[in-house]
Amino acid sequence: MRYFIAILVAWLFAGCANQGKKIKYDGEILIEQKCAVCHNLKMPPNTYADEKAPPMMAVVFHLKDFMKITMDDEKFSKFIPFVQDYVINPSRDKSYCDKESLKTYGVMPSQKGNVTKDELEAIASYMYDFYDQQKYLKQMQAKAVFDALPKGERIARKNGCFNCHTLKKKGVGPSFSEISKRDAKEIIDTISNGSHGKWAGFYVMMPAFKSKLTQENIVTLQKWIQTDSKKENTGKAVDMSTQTPWKVKK
């Protein structure tokens, strides 16, 4: 009986403590549920012919720009309150959307009844953090570097060859520059069927890739190993001039 009372007291206490706590909302899940029907959430966005609304990345970059947000605490003083208000009470006057876009999309229909203020706080917070200009720039730069690589190296990086091989140094597997001295047919055969024990001093098994890669891609890899992988500049960042695509005309 004494135990029972102790448990009951503990339970009541925990119950009271829980009541004061706010439910924690997950902005990433909520934005998918409540906003993705109209707004494209990808960064960078996919382009569709019949968009119902501007992509969320454009919305957020646009808002940050027009609100002249420079410090992260303005996320709480400006950004979140605006989104919380706009989604429930949208209007032509409040919208930062330019006239042309408003004509194309129309004013956003109020989401009253579909989403609560607390949920919007989580959604807006997620929007602010996820659609980050610096992160986007870095992503685009990384993509530009990747796209500028020879095709063989792109295939190698996408398929995890660099988990075990490097260009010049011995790793879990032999370096590509060592491998390049081997016979072309043997290289193709090893990538297709894998290998073990052929090279002294390597203990891991080279996996077979014939079920993952087309024959054409395997040949591209072999050619890359025997030509481009030996060049000095492979894998180095290429020079890029990246624009700031979210800057809009005022």
CB 223 within 8 A of CB 130: no
Query: Is residue 122 within the footprint of ligand HEC (CB under 6 A)?
Result: no
**Residue 220 to residue 70: CA distance in whole angstroms:** 47
Structure tokens at 239: 């020079």
The window from 4-12, 29-37, 142-150, 241-249 that contacts ligand HEC (CB under 6 A) reads 29-37
Binds ligand HEC (CB under 6 A): choice among 87, 122, 149, 167: 87
Looking only at residues 213 through 242 of this chain, which bind ligand HEC when binding is defined by CB under 6 A?
Answer: 221, 225
Rounded to the nearest angstrom, the gap between the alpha carbon of residue 243 and the centroid of all alpha carbons in its chain is 19
* Burial group, residue 46, by CB count within 10 angstroms (0-12, 13-18, 19+): exposed
Q: How far is the CB of 141 from ligand HEC (least distance, A)?
A: 25
Structure tokens at 22: 């706010």
Query: Is residue 38 within the footprint of ligand HEC (CB under 6 A)?
Result: yes
**Residue 202 to residue 165: CA distance in whole angstroms:** 11
**Residue 126 to residue 192: CA distance in whole angstroms:** 44
Query: Is residue 198 within the footprint of ligand HEC (CB under 6 A)?
Result: yes
User: 15 CB contacts (<8 Å, ≥6 apart)?
Assistant: none
Query: Is residue 57 within the footprint of ligand HEC (CB under 6 A)?
Result: no
Query: Is residue 167 within the footprint of ligand HEC (CB under 6 A)?
Result: no
CB 164 within 8 A of CB 171: yes
**Residue 167 to residue 232: CA distance in whole angstroms:** 10
Structure tokens at 52: 């119902």
Q: How far is the CB of 18 from ligand HEC (least distance, A)?
A: 27
**What count of residues does the chain have?**
250
By beta-carbon proximity to ligand HEC, the closer residue of 123 and 167 is 123
Binds ligand HEC (CB under 6 A): choice among 26, 32, 72, 186: 186
The window from 2-10, 12-20, 86-94, 133-141 that contacts ligand HEC (CB under 6 A) reads 86-94
The window from 40-48, 73-81, 158-166, 233-241 that contacts ligand HEC (CB under 6 A) reads 158-166
User: 16 CB contacts (<8 Å, ≥6 apart)?
Assistant: none
Q: How far is the CB of 26 from ligand HEC (least distance, A)?
A: 14
Binds ligand HEC (CB under 6 A): choice among 57, 80, 122, 123: 123
Q: Note the residues at the interface with ligand HEC (CB under 6 A).
A: 34-35, 37-39, 52-54, 59, 62, 83, 86-87, 90, 95-97, 102, 105-109, 111, 115, 123, 156, 159-161, 163-165, 172-174, 179, 182, 186-187, 190-191, 195-199, 202, 204, 206-207, 209, 221, 225
